[in-house]
Structure 1
C-alpha cells in the first residue's frame, strides 16, 4: 500500500513530462502506459474487496463531541468579552433607536 502511494507522484510526473517539454514534436503516446489500480476497492488480482464496516451511532458520537466544545467556546468568549468590558477596552454602547 505504501509503495503504491509513493509511486503515484512518479507516474504523474512522467506522464506530464511530455506536456511540459518545449519540443512540440514529442508525443505522450511514446511514454509507457501505467495501469490504474484502486487498492481501496480491489486487490492486486482484481478481486473486489468486501464493504467496509459501518460505524453505528455516528450522529450521536458527533453530537457528544461537538456540543461540549461549543459550550466551552461560548464560555471562553463570554469571559473574554467581560474582561474587555471590565478594562474599558471594548464597551458596547446601549443605543436605543426605537423612536
Structure 2
C-alpha cells in the first residue's frame, strides 16, 4: 500500500505524517487489496480539512471531513473510509 500525504496551506510535520499513516494502516485490517492512498490536509481560516482518495481493487473511494482540530478531522475521515471499505467488501462478497 502506497500512502502519499500532501498539505495545502499547512506544513506536514513528521508527527502529522506518522499519525495519518498509523490511522490509514487500520483500514487494511478490513480489506487487503488497498493499492494507493492519497491524503490531502488543508487549512482554511479556522477550519481544518482532511480528505483522502483510496484506490482499491475494482473501485476508488473518497472521504473528507472538516473539524476545528486537524487530528479530529483525520479521525473522522478515516472512520468514513473504514465504513466505505466494509460496505464495498460486503458488496463483493454478496455478488460472488
Instruction: Pick 1 or 2: higher relative contact order, CA cutoff 8 A, min separation 6.
Output: 2
Q: Which of the two has greater strand per residue?
A: 2
Q: Which of the two has greater helix per residue?
A: 1
Task: Calculate the TM-score normalised by the size of structure 1.
Answer: 0.28
Structure with larger Rg: 1
Task: Calculate the TM-score normalised by the size of structure 2.
Answer: 0.29
